Structure 1
Amino acid sequence: MKKNILISVFNMEIGGIERSLINMLESFDYHKYNVDLLIFHHVGEFMNLIPKSVNILPQVGEYSVFRKPVKHCLKEGQYLLAFIRVLAKYIAKIKSKKRNLEEGSGYIQMQLTQKYSSPFLPRIDKEYDVAISYAWPHNIIANKVKAKKKIAWVHTDYSKLEIDNELDLNVWNQFDYIASVSDACSEAFLTAYPSLKEKVTVVENITSPTFIKKMAEEELQLKKENSQFFNLVSVGRLSYVKGFDLAIEALKLLHDKGLTNIKWFIIGYGGYEKELKDLISKNDLQDSFILLGKKTNPYPYIKNCDLYVQPSRYEGKAVTVSEAKILGKPILITNYPTAPSQIENGVEGMICDLSIPGLAKGIEAFYRNQELKNYMVTNIRDRDYSNSYELDKLYKIIS
């Protein structure tokens, strides 16, 4: 008899978590498992990429409010939940001000919204063998779903995440297993939650080389137009965490040194867009540092770049770095705490200092040294990056 699995995610907007979920669902064994997908808000370009074997549950109105503008919640008649959103924002601002948080109160606001709204949210009627909360915060699977086993996923570096750890610990304790995407992520998580050591297991992001290479075949005019330039590509949400402000300043350094034929293309969207555009204008880089916005398919851009760069301040395990390897590209990443788990430094790519000069120096090394590029590309192309066997770890938990 097939086992019934529930997987939850907020939406299917373009992002690393959502992309890794699509890859996992592409590789799932549907002969053994029935998979229900609970998407809190049925929006996002990746909705169309969900495999046909997955049963997408109907949207639950109350679950869709967490990332909508409050005025939209009011229009839909979700008055109580809209009030909770406003209350959580107010309290989160006070908490974050006391702690002098660099990134503000956004994450704590999400935690408080879920905590305060939980008593007023409907339960999921069906009972499951396993329920998986694939995206943080994990309150809904913890409190509103009945399952024999519950798994929560860790995608980021929790030693850097500015949240209320005590509040979160109460939620983590309601799960039987905590799946982390790398050993480095597990170590970082356990610095914040040492009491959860026995629950943590590593299940790496699933990569599907066949799917990624097929998607990368799409024709791309951009490369033809910029063939005379040294083209960098980065993919990620436009946020402080991703370090694109550092990237702009690094490109300015390189241009000031006379390396004006370097262009940097950013694929992504997010709340940091205005700040980045202002910084681009300030440094007169409008023609060289280009925000491409949302792209459902980033793979042709990665395939056609000269160097893939991840300038993040911190990461869990960036999905796009693994995908750049599959597409045979040389890679430069900043020395965020989990960076050594992303690439073999000096073999698959380079880890540079997490700074503006560090990024500039790393890019210049690739720009000036074709042999270095070729050496790393050869190493990458000789390796097999398929890892559907990682799902065996999940199946073992499920069984």
Structure 2
Amino acid sequence: MKKILFVIHRLDAGGAEKSLVSLLNSLPLDSLDIDLMAINPNGIFRNQIPDKVHLITASRELICKSEKITSKRFWQYTNIKTLLIKVACILGDRLRSNNSKKLKSRGQYDNDIWKSHIPDCKNEYDVAISYMDGVNYYVIDHVKAKRKILWCHNDYNKLEYKPEYDEKYYGKAYKVCTISDICKKSLVENFPKLSDKFEVVENISSARIINAQAEMHKEMKHANDGFAEDRRFKIVSIGRLSEQKGFDYAVEAARILKDDGLTLGWYVLGEGPLRKSLEEQTKNSSVEDTVKFIGVRSNPYPYIKDADLYVMPSRYEGKSIALDEAKILCKPIVVTNYPSVGDAIINGKNGLIVDINAQSIADGITKLYNNENLRKELVKNLRQEDCSNEKRVVAKFLELLK
């Protein structure tokens, strides 16, 4: 029985986190001995970790490295030593030269300071897997394993990391997995000497799990967020409230739609650093009755199932799990034209692809709002499409473990 370690930052809402939980629930756990180190194990996905997966605790040093100095959890775990290291990272980054910043991102700079202070993982493994950018360094530097697999969950060109620094880490890995052909192309462009190491392993989307959970309406009905009672044309979007996800475009699109006389409710599921500014934008745009930021839901699928439309206004993506989930639930989709969108959507057949701006998003929504026959056609085509990749992804992943 192979002994496997997964490492991830947290078990809170996010595409990588959701993908990992789905993968763990799809693997043949009777034939694998799996440890999971979540640096912050608290979050909506913790209760979805299978009982046969062993949660192991990260070291104090790794926790303090990963948490912001302003977070409550940092102060729960810090001591004099870790506090001094944290302060040194913050001050050192502010004083860095421009040349240093060109060679190392903030996270890479912090890693160089912390790595001699972080203890090695006590256990040894057949395979150690960093399932998210950022913990790649920990798995390479501090885990003893016969084989190490790293993950890049986005277009590398869109990340803050510097390839000059990451090349030596990627070079020590058995494989570096990413989630789409576009993302693999980005890695090959940045690391041409390592091109044979890169593998595409899509984020797992299980129709079996998603369709079952979409029927569980209890949390939605008791959430007091107004969604269940809303009788307007309902839009759902899901994602972290960050610049990448483009919800500022969504708010502006909602203003355009309201000015055009459309009556709808747009519900955004997610949390993130831009929540306050986005809520202020809804007030300034007089669409607080239209756009509702309702936070994270452990089970978002009843919301998607009961919506009239799924909208994704992202500036960029690797391969969106939420988009695949909306396809599995056969929702009409409006999505922006980021580079890898063609991996999931054929414009006019299983969704509408629009330009990355508020007016285009509003135009796409208006087109589907006013055309029920087009919505039905998209749904019909989605029902004929096999949108679940569970068996294929599990087989590809198990091949990597051999």
TM-score interval, smaller chain: over 0.9
* 2:25 paired residue number: 26
**Aligned-pair CA distance for 1:66:** 3.3
Does 2:401 match 1:398? Answer: yes
Please give the alpha-carbon distance, in whole angstroms, between the structure 1 residues aligned to 2:164 and 2:83. Answer: 25
- Give the alignment partner of residue 306 of structure 2, picking from 294, 304, 307: 304
> Is contact 2:60–2:78 with CA below 8 Å preserved after alignment?
no
**Aligned-pair CA distance for 1:171:** 2.1
1:159 alignment partner, SS class: helix
- Which amino acid letter does the alignment assign opposite residue 24 of structure 2? L
Does 2:121 match 1:118? Answer: no
Q: How many residues align?
A: 391
> Is contact 2:140–2:169 with CA below 8 Å preserved after alignment?
yes
- Deviations 1:120-151, CA, capped at 9 Å, x for gaps: 11111222111110011111101100111111
Does 2:273 match 1:271? Answer: yes
Per the alignment, do residues 154 and 226 of structure 1 end up closer, same or farther by CA in structure 2, a change over 3 Å counting? same
**Aligned-pair CA distance for 1:218:** 2.3
* 2:181 paired residue number: 183
- Which amino acid letter does the alignment assign opposite residue 116 of structure 1? I
Please give the alpha-carbon distance, in whole angstroms, between the structure 2 residues aligned to 1:330 and 1:175. Answer: 40
- Which amino acid letter does the alignment assign opposite residue 272 of structure 2? G
- Which amino acid letter does the alignment assign opposite residue 177 of structure 1? K
- Which amino acid letter does the alignment assign opposite residue 12 of structure 2? E
For residues 243-258 of structure 1, the aligned pairs below 5 Å read 243-258=246-261
- Which amino acid letter does the alignment assign opposite residue 393 of structure 1? K
Please give the alpha-carbon distance, in whole angstroms, between the structure 2 residues aligned to 1:9 and 1:89. Answer: 23
- Deviations 1:37-65, CA, capped at 9 Å, x for gaps: 11112211211110112111134222222
- Which amino acid letter does the alignment assign opposite residue 368 of structure 1? N
> Is contact 1:154–1:181 with CA below 8 Å preserved after alignment?
yes
Per the alignment, do residues 68 and 286 of structure 1 end up closer, same or farther by CA in structure 2, a change over 3 Å counting? same
- Which amino acid letter does the alignment assign opposite residue 170 of structure 2? W
Does 2:352 match 1:360? Answer: no
For residues 1-399 of structure 1, the aligned pairs below 5 Å read 2-70=1-69, 72=72, 73-74=74-75, 76-92=77-93, 108-137=105-134, 138-219=136-217, 220-221=220-221, 222-227=226-231, 229-259=232-262, 261-387=263-389, 388-399=391-402
Please give the alpha-carbon distance, in whole angstroms, between the structure 1 residues aligned to 2:34 and 2:157. Answer: 32
**Aligned-pair CA distance for 1:94:** 6.1
> Is contact 2:368–2:375 with CA below 8 Å preserved after alignment?
yes
> Is contact 1:84–1:113 with CA below 8 Å preserved after alignment?
no
* 1:104 paired residue number: none
Give the unaligned 5+ runs of structure 1. Answer: 102-106
Per the alignment, do residues 98 and 119 of structure 1 end up closer, same or farther by CA in structure 2, a change over 3 Å counting? closer
- Deviations 1:181-217, CA, capped at 9 Å, x for gaps: 1111111222332232110011111122121112111
- Deviations 1:162-189, CA, capped at 9 Å, x for gaps: 3323222232222110111111111122
Q: Report the RMSD for the aligned CA atoms in angstroms.
A: 2.2
More deviation in 18-27 or 112-121? 112-121
Per the alignment, do residues 99 and 323 of structure 1 end up closer, same or farther by CA in structure 2, a change over 3 Å counting? farther
TM-score relative to the length of structure 2: 0.91
Give the unaligned 5+ runs of structure 2. Answer: none
Identity in percent: 35
Please give the alpha-carbon distance, in whole angstroms, between the structure 1 residues aligned to 2:141 and 2:101. Answer: 31
1:238 alignment partner, SS class: coil
